[in-house]
Amino acid sequence: MAGAWPNPEFFLIKDISLTLKDGSKLDVDRSLVTRAMQYSSTSGFPELIKWVKDLQEKVHKPPTLEITDENKQLDIIITNGSQDGICKTLEACVSAGDNVLIEVPTYAGTLAILNPLKPKILPVESDKDGIIPGSIRRHLSKWNPEDSQNPKSSIPKILHCVPNGGNPTGSQLTWERKKAIYKLCQDYDIIIMEDDPYFYLQFSKPYVPSFLSMDVDGRVMRFDTFTKVMSSGMRIGCLSGPRALVNKIIQHQQVSAVHSSGLSQVALFTILQEMGHTGFLQHCDKVADFYKRQRDACLAAANKHLSGLAEWVEPSGGMFVWLKLPQIKDTYKLIWEKAREKEVLFVPGNAFMIDSSVPCQYLRSAYSLVSAEDMDKAFERLSAIIKEELKQ
């Protein structure tokens, strides 16, 4: 008499069968379908959580699997894509006026979550090897490590970064820097938000070990997602972190989305179970190979049309190349007016900056969707637009 569950008698779906692009057919287990139609566990389907946890164990060997302190033990929640987990974590950890360490430039979605929370963003500089430990150290020099034990201190509590296939920079945080950063975060008791949707889109192997793989303290909140390799519309991601913090996110999920879509979870789980971890990793390799070829085609087009007009660093993974136009003061107008007129679009760099009103010489170009011929055309047009602008 207590539960608010609707009577499933009137739910119409009984069976789900999936046809994959290779022609194979998979039936979702009928009992899973029945469960997927009803409200279910807030943290996600236990079968999917187990599959993901085993994958994390295999890929990252998180020390928090073995840790004795229950609050720090590895726990997992299935989220609506990684964006959902990032949003809930920032909302849980950041109050107005808090100092937060954020990689800059960074994913516009993170800044969009942060801005209404009104924190003081301490920009962490990055280069082709990812965020620079010295930049974090400089920010932290205002405090002493002991301040982290004083709840009234203004010492930053979180660091957010995108360690692979940086969005927008295409950069990759090296293992050496990760070790130095983890040590700094230990000294100042800082939580690391490892926003890593492009982990499986690294262009060289072995994968650079993650922060999760070195997390002896339970201070890493790692955001994974199936968006980039399986489907973005299914909206399935996962957050792996210390139980005490993951529990807070579960409480938030309970009163917001309640749980990720059961339909998406069981469809994805059925495919993942069929593939196994090895099949999944092989699939990721194929996707990464494709993006690497796309990157090469993109850089070939850039070399052909933008030499002398733009500067860029070869992306080590992911879907983006970050172009600097040194002779252009601000790419915003150039893109929204001139480029749009010529039917080619990029994201102006100011979208990835803390203060988007400051003129920015950069733009982000994605090579995920466009054919080599179209990338060539796009940069040919960009080159013409820049030259026109320089004549004025």
Q: What is the binding site for ligand 09M (CB under 6 A)?
A: 81-83, 107, 109, 162, 167, 195, 197, 225, 227, 232, 237
The CB-of-317 to ligand 09M minimum distance in angstroms stands at: 12
Instruction: Report the alpha-carbon distance of residue 323 to residue 132 in Å, rounded.
Output: 20
Beta bridge partners of 77: 239
Q: Is 72 or 222 the residue whose CB approaches ligand 09M more closely? A: 222
Cβ 185 to ligand 09M shortest distance, Å: 19
- For the bound state, the minimum distance from the C-beta of residue 87 to ligand 09M, rounded and expressed in Å, comes to 9
Q: Which residue number, 148 or 260, has a Cβ lying nearer to ligand 09M?
A: 260
Between 73 and 80, CB nearer to ligand 09M: 80
What's the min distance (Å) between Cβ of 195 and ligand 09M?
5
- Neighbouring C-beta atoms of residue 337, cutoff 10 Å: 10
**CB nearer ligand 09M, residue 33 or residue 370:** 370
Q: What is the smallest separation between the CB atom of 162 and ligand 09M, expressed in angstroms?
A: 4
Q: Which is nearer to ligand 09M, 33 or 351 (CB)?
A: 351
Q: How far apart, in whole angstroms, are the C-alpha atoms of residue 76 and residue 243?
A: 8
Q: Smallest gap, in angstroms, from Cβ of residue 280 to ligand 09M?
A: 16
Residue carrying structure tokens 């993109």: 298
| Nearer Cβ to ligand 09M (312/352) | 352
Buried b (16+ CB within 10 A) or exposed e, 356-383: eeeebbbbbbbbeebeeeebbbbbbbbb
Task: Output 33 or 319, the one with its CB closest to ligand 09M.
Answer: 319
Q: Is 74 left (phi over 0), alpha (psi -120 to 50) or beta?
A: beta
Query: Please, what is the minimum distance in Å from the beta carbon of residue 188 to ligand 09M?
Result: 24
What is the sign, positive or negative, of the torsion defined by CA atoms of 112, 192, 83, 318? positive
> Contact 87/65 with Cβ under 8 angstroms?
no
Q: Which two tokens stand for residue 345?
A: 């679009």
Q: Residue holding tokens 């054919």?
A: 371
- 68, two tokens: 């004795």
Residue 230 to residue 197: CA distance in whole angstroms = 12
The pair of three-digit structure tokens given for residue 371, joined into one six-digit string:
């054919």
Q: C-beta of 202: minimal distance to ligand 09M in Å?
A: 14
Least distance in Å: CB of 346 to ligand 09M?
11
Please report how close the Cβ of residue 146 comes to ligand 09M at its closest, in angstroms. Answer: 33
Residue whose Cβ sits closest to ligand 09M: 81
Task: Decide: 322 and 362 in contact? Cβ < 8 Å.
Answer: yes
Write the secondary structure of 83-141 as one string of H (helix), E (strand) and C (coil): HHHHHHHHHHHCCCCCEEEEECCCCHHHHHHHHHHCCEEEEECEECCEECHHHHHHHHC
User: 167 or 264: whose CB is closer to ligand 09M?
Assistant: 167
How many whole angstroms separate alpha carbon 368 and alpha carbon 232?
Answer: 13
Torsion over CA: 228, 167, 107, 200 (sign): positive
Of residues 42 and 82, the one with the C-beta less far from ligand 09M: 82
Nearer of residues 81 and 317 to ligand 09M, judged by Cβ: 81
Nearest to 365 by CA among 341, 381, 349, 343: 349
